[in-house]
Amino acid sequence: MTVQSLSMALIAAFDRAADRVLISQDDRELTGHQLCAAMDDLALRLIALGVAPGDRVAVQSPKSLDLVMLYLGCLRLGAVYLPLNDAYRADEVGYFLRDAGPSLFICAPADEAALVASACIPTAVTVRTLGAVGEGSWLQATPSDVALPPPPASPDDLAAIVYTSGTTGRSKGAMLSQRNLLANARDLAEVWGISADDRLLHALPLYHIHGLFIAMHPLLLAGGRIDLLPAFDADAVLQRLDDATVFMGVPTHYTRLLASPGLTREATANVRLFVSGSAPLTPATFTAFAERTGHDILERYGMTECGIICSNPLDGPRLPGAVGQPLPGYRVRIAGGAATGVLEVRGDSLFGGYWQMPEKTREEFRDDGYFITGDIASIDDDGVVRIVGRDKDMIISGGLNIYPIEIETLLEAMAEIGDVAVVGVPHADFGEAVLAVVCLRAGANLTGPEIIDRLRPHLAGFKLPKAVVFAPALPRNAMGKVQKAELRRVHAGQFDLCA
Ligand code: AMP
């Protein structure tokens, strides 16, 4: 029988690698056998807290091996994992909890009191805590003594809901099934040649599909080994690369590595594959990395709703500025058959829709099942895809997506501000940085730092404007729409000094 659920496939893979270390952090190492036992134990703890298969478990905890285990415990039980960026503040967390209606919310011990005091947690939600070194009330839960039900076998069961920022200000929960996640993991293991001999140095966050699914699943399925770092730090990465065969990062990670004199051919000699994604990798970074290390970074393209869609080849030329060809499970086309236009995709790992948003889901799919990505792309005669822009005015800063509307709404609510637009402008370190262009009301007095301070309690740090510029008026077209392209052009040099 072909295994069609990620949960079953992972358990089978852990069984095959019973005596091998599959994941580690510092000096803590877990073999396949230990992973299986821990998954059962954690699933029973979830049951003891009232979580049933199909229930959502929302998690906002610092990265750690115990956080990975919590995710695997949810997969074992068939609970739907809902990762939240640990930078989100109470207002933001409250929205996700109200929208997703989880039965359990696990947060960092240090955040619990403030979150509870802010009343952002609905009363029906059980709260437990998990910190960076396993501390907190989650791991103190006693496992239930009921018989553990079998792991989810149906490919259609939901495995995760991952929220993406919404163009209209409302984040949308992308529903990812067991089939979606397994299909992408298998495709990636195949096209990137991931095997039991691989060792991945994992420096990505675990609240995003890049670190949680793309980096981990192929290694776990293939019986390779994952070494977790608590966060990206160029020095820590460079110290550990001699053990690694695979490294995955966002473009900002690569520019930071390039800024370190420790990035050399010797330091990277053991690595066979560097992968970049989540934001465009500039040809300049690609070339500088190749010159310094001898490695051509493999750029791939994907999104929360789809997993990875396109990848440069493992063998064969990796083209700077291109994201390669579609994975075996995907077909791609340009809307309306134009040479350059909105990329539409169809494939096995394409999500099932947005959580409780049937209208929004319908709007983003064509009748023949293609998903409208919102990215502007071209496809050449060899089927190589190039992403040339974005349909929406989303900002990607340090690999994280930011929708201006969310920040604009908060700024517009400030009495001193008459008009405002938020745009992304080039930034040497972050790729793009958030810039707020503000028109003050007559007689009003407010400085840039004061504006940022007022936003701080409401927004994750990565969404805060890196600068505020003041203007007498915003450029608007005949329809009254702010001409953001014009603002991006005028302020393109704003962060030159940061280079
Ligand atoms: P997310 O859902 O957070 O993974 O963000 C998905 C978006 O990131 C895509 O729609 C693209 O706009 C962007 N993206 C991901 N990978 C790349 C890439 N290699 N080049 C350009 N944009 C990318």
**CATH number (domain holding residue 278):** 3.40.50.12780
Shared domain check, 399 and 364: no
Shared domain check, 429 and 381: no
Q: What is d(CA 48, CA 435) in angstroms, rounded to the nearest whole number?
A: 47
Ligand 1 pocket test target in 278, 391, 393 with most atoms within 8 Å of CB = 278
Domain membership of residue 148 (yes or no) is yes
Shared domain check, 239 and 148: no
Shared domain check, 380 and 422: no
Domain membership of residue 223 (yes or no) is no
Query: What is the longest distance spanned by two Cα atoms in the chain?
Result: 73
- Sheet hosting strand 56-60, strand order edge to edge: 126-129, 104-107, 56-60, 80-83, 158-164, 172-177
Chunk the chain into consecutive blocks of 10 residues (it has 499) and report each block's average pLDDT, rounded to whole numbers: 90 98 97 98 98 98 98 98 94 95 98 94 96 97 95 97 71 96 98 98 96 98 98 97 97 93 98 94 92 98 97 96 95 90 95 96 95 93 90 84 85 91 93 96 95 96 96 78 86 75
Task: Supply the Cα-derived Rg of the chain in whole angstroms.
Answer: 23
Counting Cα atoms < 13 Å in the Cβ hemisphere of 274 gives 24
Last residue of a domain, one of 360, 391, 422: 391
Domain membership of residue 134 (yes or no) is yes
Q: What does the pLDDT read at residue 42? A: 98
Ligand 1 pocket, 311 CB below 6 A? Answer: no
Shared domain check, 266 and 331: yes
Q: Burial-class residue 359 by CB neighbours within 10 Å (0-12, 13-18, 19+).
A: exposed
Alpha carbon of 302 to ligand 1 centroid (Å): 6
Domain tally, the chain: 3
Domain membership of residue 301 (yes or no) is yes
Alpha carbon of 277 to ligand 1 centroid (Å): 7
Among protein residues, the one with the nearest Cα to ligand 1's atom 6 is: 303
Ligand 1 pocket, 7 CB below 6 A? Answer: no
Domain membership of residue 132 (yes or no) is yes
- Give Cβ neighbours of residue 246 (< 8 Å, ≥ 6 apart): 192, 194, 198, 199, 200, 201, 219, 224, 271, 272, 273, 274, 275
Q: What does the pLDDT read at residue 440? A: 96
Q: What is d(CA 167, CA 363) in angstroms, rounded to the nearest whole number?
A: 13
Which domain CATH number covers 409? 3.30.300.30
Shared domain check, 386 and 257: yes
Measured from the Cα of 210, ligand 1's closest atom is 4
Last residue of a domain, one of 325, 357, 391: 391
Measured from the Cα of 323, ligand 1's closest atom is 19
The single residue listed with the structure tokens 């009232």 is: 50
Among protein residues, the one with the nearest Cα to ligand 1's atom 5 is: 303
Shared domain check, 414 and 370: no
Domain membership of residue 193 (yes or no) is no
Ligand 1 pocket, 203 CB below 6 A? Answer: no
Q: What does the pLDDT read at residue 391? A: 75
Domain membership of residue 55 (yes or no) is yes
Last residue of a domain, one of 391, 421, 443: 391
Alpha carbon of 371 to ligand 1 centroid (Å): 14
Q: What does the pLDDT read at residue 12? A: 98
Shared domain check, 161 and 15: yes
Ligand 1 pocket, 402 CB below 6 A? Answer: no
Domain membership of residue 221 (yes or no) is no
Ligand 1 pocket test target in 248, 372, 401, 430 with most atoms within 8 Å of CB = 401
CA of 233: how far to CAs of 26, 113, 262, 401, in Å?
15, 29, 12, 21
Shared domain check, 368 and 476: no
Ligand 1 pocket, 280 CB below 6 A? Answer: yes
Among protein residues, the one with the nearest Cα to ligand 1's atom 9 is: 303
Ligand 1 pocket, 397 CB below 6 A? Answer: no
Shared domain check, 37 and 141: yes
Question: DSSP readout, 92-134?
Answer: HHHHHHHHH--SEEEE-HHHHHHHHHTT-S-TTSEEEE--TTS
Q: How much is the pTM?
A: 0.89
Shared domain check, 333 and 401: no
At residue 427, the 3 state secondary structure works out as strand
| 363 CB neighbour count, 10 Å cutoff | 10
Shared domain check, 103 and 244: no
> Domain span at residue 413?
394-490
Ligand 1 pocket, 171 CB below 6 A? Answer: no
